[in-house]
Amino acid sequence: MERTRPQRADARRNYDALLGAAREVFAEKGTEASLEEIARRAGVGIGTLYRNFPARQDLFEAVYVGEVEQLCRLAGEVADRPPWEAMQAWLRAFVGYAATKRAIKEALTMESAMFVSCRADMYAAGQPLFDRAQAAGAVRADVSFDDVLRMVSGITAGSYVDDAQRERVFAMALAGVTATPAAPHPA
């Protein structure tokens, strides 16, 4: 699944800067966003963008694969935390992934081998965290990993007044997944 990154340090920095800028610009302006703007935000010339990503589709796929790679790495990084804490950390990162996916969804071929492979890798990374949290009694027994991912994806699809409101809604959803009842709100 991982794309080949340039070997030289400066080329790697440019590549990573382009991916970061593309993620931001696509999230703000959609898939028709200007490639020149992406290059400008990355601090590189348009030629550098085209050397790394000869076609717009290459950039879409690299951004998507990068998000999935981050989710997969994070699963390993949080695996030693208490089960529910690890699951929450991974789901918070999933929110970012879902937002990026939504921004470029129409440009992705959902049946492509790349997409199918990414989905399988993402589930393989997150499912053990979910299973561990469920086995520890932190997650309700009547929900599946897919249920939780669909719920979080739905939350990210909404528009919110501000980030604080999105966080409150996300926290309420997570409270509904936990096996232990949340503390009552003060009157």
Q: What SS3 string covers the chain?
A: CCCCCCCCHHHHHHHHHHHHHHHHHHHHHCCCCCHHHHHHHHCCCHHHHHHHCCCHHHHHHHHHHHHHHHHHHHHHHHCCCCHHHHHHHHHHHHHHHHHHHHHHHHHCCCCCHHHHHHHHHHHHHHHHHHHHHHHCCCECCCCCHHHHHHHHHHHHHCCCCCHHHHHHHHHHHHHHHECCCCCCCCC
**Quick check: pTM over 0.75?**
yes
Does 185 score more than 50 pLDDT?
A: no
Q: Is pLDDT of 26 > 70?
A: yes
- pLDDT band at 1, cuts 50/70/90? very low
* pLDDT-above-70 percentage for the chain: 90
Domains detected in the chain: 56-177 (1.10.357.10)
